[in-house]
Amino acid sequence: MNKVKKTGINIFIDKKKNKKEIVSDWSQLEVKKATALKSLLVRYTQNHIEECEKLEKDIGSDQALSTTIAGMKNIELLKVSSNPTAQKTCKACNTLVKLVNYSGKLMHEYNISSDLIIKTKMDVYNIKSIK
């Protein structure tokens, strides 16, 4: 029997060179850039909250979250439906998609930490719940 001799290749990557700095506070960015990015995140979060509140009025708070999650699989079907609740579910799903996509963009393009994004969203939720 012939034995295959395994060889290994050692690759050394300079992690300091390839490592990007994670933004953990909005003050680490330029003022205009931070204001623009944060305000858009707040607006997407507020839009999602408002659409979910409209849906909650129709079907109750217990069903709103599960309906939105189930609706994510069938957004195209909800768009063509004439049912008003389905239309509200579709709007809630679309605002959630925008919010998730923008959060991903902030993390991957601008290196903003997920903790900062979550904190900002929670601040918006807490302000909404106080009112």
pLDDT score recorded for residue 2 = 60
- 44-65, pLDDT tens digit by residue? 999 999 999 999 998 988 888 8
Which residues are within 8 A (CB) of 106 and not within 5 positions of it... i.e. 6 or more apart? 37, 41, 112, 117
* Global pTM exceeds 0.85: no
Span 4-14, average pLDDT: 57
